[in-house]
């Protein structure tokens, strides 16, 4: 019965010593004939941010069909990079040649196997490995970018940075913005997601507050171009625009359909915009206007006139009451030529409409 002699060896490289960033691997007894019935494995590791590059400067193993007798196998986490044997390339045998083998990460494994015979006393192999810096910024794909904005490579790693006005998120790759605290007090205006119509920032929470005078009512109008990340089955789980008026949520909006016109019935409106750490959507924009609280339609007094006469009146509208010739307005104990009524913020008039009375001889005026 044939016996198999197994030897395990580990070669490790660390940042603490530059000499361990490279090394040599050789078959047992090299350059003398390697032993029979031997299996020897080298597990090579270098620091993260590097690849392992391996190349052979001498290779001489027993040849066999598909390298079934003696062989060297190079692997990265059980993925075979090469299976080598013999001395020269053939239809059934592969030799490493002078080209370098590179791992896809910081690990590489080399397995040497010999069977029970070596009639020609082959010398084995001599190989060298080295840690090679990975340019993570160049190896990234458009679908899976390492950094939102800018990627900077350095030996052994990389770092991300953001365009001016953005802040680097705690994940050290996402660029977010500080976009809360904006207050709009004018009776009309507008705002949009940051960078609209370009993609909006990730991992951000923006807040836009409309605070107009009490008695005014805010109305929002979202532009038709609306693009906020959504989900086919769940209501706005990722990114969303939230409208709160008078302390009550009116809605959360996402997807590609604009909310259109939103009547808030309040003078205090908060528009929140939440984004997660993914997506490449273009955002939204809106304009807002205000209208005043509605006051009841007035009726002209007998023998009197209203100016102006309108179908509706709202907050801050004024109406002047006058009388026909021979009549004067009576307000309490006073007689007046004219009197002004004001539509107030609560939707009521500042006073009742005074009545017109005929002026008489000897009446105090």
- Going by pLDDT thresholds of 50, 70 and 90, the confidence category of residue 6 is very low
Q: Return the closest-CA partner of residue 211 out of 228, 234, 186.
A: 186
Tokens of 334: 């006073």
Give me the mean pLDDT over the 1-12 stretch.
38
Residue 143 confidence (pLDDT): 55
Give me the mean pLDDT over the 255-261 stretch.
95
Q: Return the closest-CA partner of residue 290 out of 184, 182, 197, 172.
A: 184
Tokens of 15: 């940042």
- Going by pLDDT thresholds of 50, 70 and 90, the confidence category of residue 145 is confident
Mean pLDDT score across all residues of the chain: 87
Distance CA(133)–CA(15), nearest Å, equals: 12
Tokens of 230: 């959504």
Residue 89 confidence (pLDDT): 84
Distance CA(38)–CA(114), nearest Å, equals: 5
Distance CA(93)–CA(90), nearest Å, equals: 5
Domains and CATH numbers, the chain: 5-133 (2.60.120.290), 137-168 (no CATH), 179-292 (2.60.120.290), 294-358 (2.10.70.10)
- Residue 248 CB contacts under 8 Å (≥ 6 apart), including other chains: none
- Going by pLDDT thresholds of 50, 70 and 90, the confidence category of residue 141 is low
Residue 48 confidence (pLDDT): 85
pLDDT, one tens digit per residue, over 291-312 is 888 899 999 999 999 999 998 8
pLDDT, one tens digit per residue, over 37-89 is 999 999 999 988 899 999 999 999 999 999 999 999 999 988 999 999 998 88
Tokens of 337: 């030529």
Report the half-sphere exposure of 52 (CA within 13 A, side-chain side): 30
């Amino acid at each position: 019965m044939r016996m198999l002699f197994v030897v395990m060896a580990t070669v490790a490289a660390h940042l603490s010593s530059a000499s361990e960033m490279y090394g040599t691997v050789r078959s047992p007894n090299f350059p003398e004939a390697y032993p029979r019935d031997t299996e020897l494995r080298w597990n090579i590791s270098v620091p993260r941010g590097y690849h392992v590059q391996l190349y052979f400067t001498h290779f001489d193993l027993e040849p066999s069909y598909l390298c079934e007798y003696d062989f060297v196998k190079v692997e990265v986490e059980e993925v075979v990079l090469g299976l080598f044997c013999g001395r020269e390339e053939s239809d059934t045998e592969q030799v490493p040649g002078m080209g370098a083998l590179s791992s896809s990460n910081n690990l590489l494994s080399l397995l040497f196997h010999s069977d029970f015979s070596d009639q020609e006393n082959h010398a084995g192999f001599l190989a060298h490995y080295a840690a090679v810096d990975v340019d993570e910024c160049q190896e990234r794909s458009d679908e899976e970018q390492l950094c939102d904005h800018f990627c900077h490579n350095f030996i052994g790693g990389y770092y991300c940075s953001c365009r001016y006005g953005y802040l680097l998120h705690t994940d050290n790759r996402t660029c977010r913005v500080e976009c809360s605290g904006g207050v709009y007090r004018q009776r009309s205006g507008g705002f949009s997601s940051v960078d609209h119509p370009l993609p909006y920032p990730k991992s951000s929470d923006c807040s836009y507050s409309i605070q107009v005078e009490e008695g005014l009512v805010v109305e929002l109008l979202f532009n038709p171009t609306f693009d906020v990340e959504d989900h086919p089955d769940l209501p706005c789980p990722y990114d969303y625009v939230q409208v709160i008026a008078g302390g009550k949520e009116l809605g959360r909006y996402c997807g590609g359909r604009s909310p259109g016109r939103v009547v808030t019935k309040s003078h205090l409106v908060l528009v929140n915009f939440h984004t997660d750490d993914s997506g490449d959507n273009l955002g939204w924009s809106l304009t807002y206007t205000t209208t005043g609280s509605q006051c009841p339609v007035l009726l002209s007094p007998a023998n009197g006139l209203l100016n102006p006469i309108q179908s509706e009146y709202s907050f801050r509208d004024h109406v002047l009451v006058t009388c026909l010739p021979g009549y004067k307005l009576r307000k309490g104990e006073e007689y007046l030529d004219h009197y002004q009524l004001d539509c107030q913020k609560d939707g009521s008039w500042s006073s009742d409409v005074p009545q017109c009375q005929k002026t008489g001889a000897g009446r105090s005026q």
